[in-house]
Structure 1
Amino acid sequence: MKDRTLEALGLADVPAEQPLIYPGRPVAEPGLLAGGELLPLRVRPRRLGAWYVGRRTDRHPGPDQQLDQALSALGQVGTGQRHPVLAVGSNASPAQVRNKLMRLGLPVAVPMVPVRVRGIAVGCSAHIGRAGYVAAAPYLVPDAETTLVVSWLDAAQLKAVDDTEIHYHRAILPGDRFPLTMPSGERLGGAYIYVSVHGVLVGPDGRPRPGGGDQRELIAALLQDSARLRELLGPDPQTWVLRAAADRELREQGTRIFGEEGRLLPQTDFLPYVDDSAEPRLYDELPPLGDSLSPLA
């Protein structure tokens, strides 16, 4: 098997460190993020824990294992004790997930699987994140069908991700209302998703702006549409992210401008699904791992 490091796969860039690449490169096929590697998962018509992990590499010369066996060999809990979490933005990037977990010294062992989701579309959160980018956020579209990455997180990993999502509520999407179909054809009973507390951005036509695309194009469009944003953060996307990342007050002013100029659409449809047990804390309170790791949105 070829080298499965994130670097070799072209998946190593971290959006938190390079804001204009947001949301980063997502997982395209089922895999197990294990340290700095993304090991392939072989889809089977069985539960996720029985899928096989390809481990025949120079670092892992042994035979393939079932996923739950591989997690146990890493000293981690199996899939039955993990929480499925849908990613609409950079949490679909294995490098970003690794960055978040490493910052807290948590094990980097996460199954990540693209899943078809009905009823959800991806827009842009109506806020400016700490790294300077405008992050993605979900909104409801009954007939939409979107492929989103689901990560299976243990309790400590889930809390760690909660603590980075200070502009979001964690919601529980029931599978009967939002069908979630695995590559095996299995339907999930539900999954968590992070919903922006600010709502989603709308364009000049009043419709939600598509999210998850080219960050440079998005910021350029926002600057073009608003003289106040150009004055505050312009004239170009590079200047925007540099100024925003360096100054919390500028980020907050820019976020207020979205509302004052009528550029946001509240997302009250998600309120019945919000998980009140999720209590994110300010990312500033988290212990630093090192100077090379940047704060997250």
Structure 2
Amino acid sequence: MKGRLLLRLPLPCSRHPPCPHQTFHVHGCWLAVEGMFLIFIRLAHHMQWLPEGWCPSVVVIDIDGTITDGKKHLSTDAVQSLRRLEEAGIPVVLATGNVRPVTYGLWRFLGLSAPMCCENGGVIWHPSWEAPVLRAKADEAKEAAVWLAKHIVGVDAQGIATNRWRESEWCLFPDEPLEAIIEAVKESQWSHLSVVRTGFAIHLMEPHLSKGEGLRYLFERMGWSPDEALCVGDAPNDLPMFDFLRWSVAVGGAFPAVQEAADVVSPHPHGATFPPLVDAILARKKGDAP
């Protein structure tokens, strides 16, 4: 666990009722507790975002659920923070389950410079490259979706709107019956496909696809070391990049398995994680923090 301190306390929130098991990874904080509820927690100057003596030279981020909220609204705080990283010479990689057109639009308007890892590592691309690197095709996943729709009530083979641009996988709606889909795929001719749920889709994809393997290709092409990189995510499809890269941060509101796997769990939801995280990175880069 890399020396982390986990505090599991009920946390009152202005937007949500108290949650019984919100997790924070903190360093040297002090608490005042009244009854069952936390009434004060001093985190601003005590959150240990980075390992001592280390600063990332590359930052990798998920999009949906990480810099957006549950309504898919983009965090303007995250936008400003990511631009600060780029201005400081730290490239930001978008590593997402989303499609290349959506990712490119965000990449362009954020003012980023690094290649993109789209469709859970199925598509690697930079606008300066002659063509995208397609690490799989969507054909089998789409065929599996059509078959599933014939055998399971509630499955829509057309899937989510961005399927019209998908190049390497196929996505069903996130509220469709996941367990039934997993079991049906296991017993079908598409049993080799992976089924991965995020907060926004159920991904059907070839087993060699993952953000970790996509980033492995990207990092090798760029001449970067995974030991230089920090990543931020929220969902199970982020776990392979947590394993591949040196340091991982789960945003507040991340899936429990992602919180458990992360080196740091943010006390801030979604995009609100980025201002203090980037402050810590830039302070370390300037030598203002140990």
Category of TM-score, reference length = shorter chain: under 0.3
Q: Which has the higher contact order (CA 8 A, sep 6+)?
A: 1
Give the structure-2-normalised TM-score.
0.26
